[in-house]
Amino acid sequence: MSPHQVIAENKHKIAIMRRVLAVGFVLTIAKFVAFWLTHSNAILTDAFESIINILAAAFGLYSLVYAARPKDDDHPYGHGKMEYLAVGFEGGLIFFAGGGMILKAFYSFFHPMPLSKLDLGLWITLVTAVVNFIMGKYLLRKGKSLHSSTLTADGHHLLSDTWSSAGLVVGLGMMLITGLAWLDTVFTVLLGCYILVVGYRLVRNSLSGLMDEADFVKLEEIVSVFNQERKDRWIDIHNLRVVKYGAHIHVDAHLTLPWYEDLEKSHREVKELERIINGHFGNRVEFFIHTDPCLPISCTICTIKDCEVRTLPMVRKLDWNMKLLLKNQPHSA
């Protein structure tokens, strides 16, 4: 990916988040209007979550602007980790909001307010749920195509808001049919518990990225490409590590090559491996590949047929899998 493409992609992410922020502001106003009309705690719960949506989108927008900064001396791997902070911030706000909703529900159970115009509140909530569903799906699709954890997290957040609003619509409908006002408290507690779970998951994902937890899905994808493009001269790959910096991936690996080849030829093999992986991941990968010379024991797994310095016969061809390639040692039969 060229520098111009990176800049264009970052601008696209920022434009998307700005639109999400604007729509979220409008939806929040609509939900507070619905609460003012109905005095429903469940609707107020949904409105407070929308405030969280706005704060999260605002911080997400800032994180995307910050993460778009180029590498510098102080940040040699770029600023992409900022996106994980935004995800954690969003998750923390959601978790806090869920707890507040539950406390408000218990307070209102003992100090109830009369409900009114539930039919109008139902329709307003339904419209906001549909809009959030459309935006959530859009953000998940864009987050995947643009490799943005911030857009993906906000997409999951908006979908969680959709399901909570959908549950709220069901609750309001039941209150209209049965006339049981205490159902408002029940649905508020249920929505609050659901939002707590969503917040916890986002915080967990944020910590995973900040702590460089192994991304086994990405590792499996890289190992699959290795196997598809495998060459005889690539005798062994080990000590494979993958670290994500926002939309970009940093890969460390040890590549075992024939000991008798000169430095220039070994360098060409490394560049070829980089070209193959970047072709698959759209030039989002930065490689640090350490080359190892093959050892006599390497002959047992070496598939080079015309090797004139072989000291041991080949025993078997190794199946390159994630468990094998993660080991920090050369392999043999």
pLDDT of res. 299: 93
Q: Which two tokens stand for residue 192?
A: 């609050």
pLDDT of res. 276: 87
pLDDT of res. 2: 55
pLDDT of res. 300: 93
Per the DSSP assignment, residues forming a β-bridge with 236 are 256
pLDDT of res. 258: 93
Q: What amino acid occupies position 164?
A: S
Name the region of 249 (left: φ>0; alpha: ψ -120 to 50; beta: rest).
beta
What does the DSSP assignment read for 128-187?
HHHHHHHHHHHHHHHHHHTT-HHHHHHHHHHHHHHHHHHHHHHHHHHHHHH--TTHHHHH
Place of tokens 């070994």: 266
C-beta separation of 68 from 35 below 8 A: no
Q: What amino acid occupies position 89?
A: F
Place of tokens 């944020």: 206
Record: fold of 3-210: Alpha-lytic protease prodomain-like (1.20.1510)
Give the number of residues written for the chain.
Answer: 333
Q: What amino acid occupies position 160?
A: S
pLDDT of res. 234: 93
Q: In what order do the strands lie in the sheet with 236-245?
A: 236-245, 248-257, 285-293
C-beta separation of 215 from 84 below 8 A: no
pLDDT of res. 93: 77
List, in order, residues 6 or more apart from 58 with CB less than 8 Å away: 21
Place of tokens 């699959």: 224
Share of the chain above pLDDT 90, in %: 13
Tens place of pLDDT per residue across the chain (333 aa)? 555 666 677 788 888 888 888 888 888 888 888 888 877 776 777 787 778 778 877 877 887 887 777 777 777 677 767 777 777 887 887 787 778 777 766 766 676 655 666 677 778 888 888 998 998 899 888 888 877 777 887 887 788 778 777 777 777 777 777 777 677 677 777 777 877 887 888 788 777 777 666 677 788 888 898 888 899 999 999 999 888 776 677 888 999 999 998 899 999 999 998 888 888 877 677 788 899 999 999 999 999 988 889 999 999 988 899 888 888 888 887
The residue ranges of every structural domain in the chain are 3-210, 216-325
Record: fold of 216-325: Alpha-Beta Plaits (3.30.70)
* Distance from C-alpha of 240 to C-alpha of 327, rounded to nearest angstrom: 7
Predicted TM-score (pTM) above 0.85: no
54-111: pLDDT as tens digits: 887 787 788 788 777 777 777 767 776 777 777 788 788 778 777 877 776 676 667 6
Q: Is 2 exposed, middle or buried (0-12, 13-18, 19+ CB in 10 A)?
A: exposed
* Distance from C-alpha of 113 to C-alpha of 188, rounded to nearest angstrom: 14
* Distance from C-alpha of 126 to C-alpha of 115, rounded to nearest angstrom: 18
